[in-house]
Amino acid sequence: MKTNFDSYLEEQLKDPAFAERFREAGEAWDVALQIAALRQQAGLSQQELARRLKTSQQQISRLESPSYEGHSLRMLRRVAEALGAHLRVVFEPKKNAPAAQLAESPTPYRSRRKRTK
């Protein structure tokens, strides 16, 4: 059974700008839920995890907040290490985007210097 909210959301998702914001919010939500779940599985409170990371309980609370989007790769690596997890960041091409160049492809980024005698 479709609720009023489902109908409203379906209508809003037709707007590309809204759809993009909605997708980005989902990414932040996923990160927050994963951190909280790993911490709980480890049997740690936010305060205990904060002590391990030499940060504040408030910072851990921010990391676990679905509205927080200031996650740094460095902090996520520290959290993963403290919780016995492996961090993996994946870039996926957007639909209908031109084919992305692979990182392994030999793209020259620096020209060679010519030697002078």
**pLDDT tens per residue across span 7-41:** 876 888 788 887 777 677 677 788 999 999 999 99
- The model's pTM: 0.65
Phi-psi region of 43 (alpha: psi -120 to 50; beta: other; left: phi over 0): left
Tokens of 29: 């939500």
Domain 4-82: homologous superfamily in CATH: lambda repressor-like DNA-binding domains (1.10.260.40)
The CA angle 32-35-40, to the nearest 5 degrees, is 125
* Neighbour count for residue 52 (Cβ, 10 Å): 15
Question: Cα 68 to chain center, whole Å?
Answer: 10
- What is the distance between the alpha carbons of residues 36 and 64, in angstroms, rounded to a whole number? 6
**Among 5-14, 44-53, 84-93, 97-106, whose mean pLDDT is lowest?**
97-106
| Closest by CA position to 82, among listed 110, 55, 116, 109 | 55
Q: How confident is the model at residue 58, as a pLDDT?
A: 97
Residue ranges per structural domain of the chain: 4-82
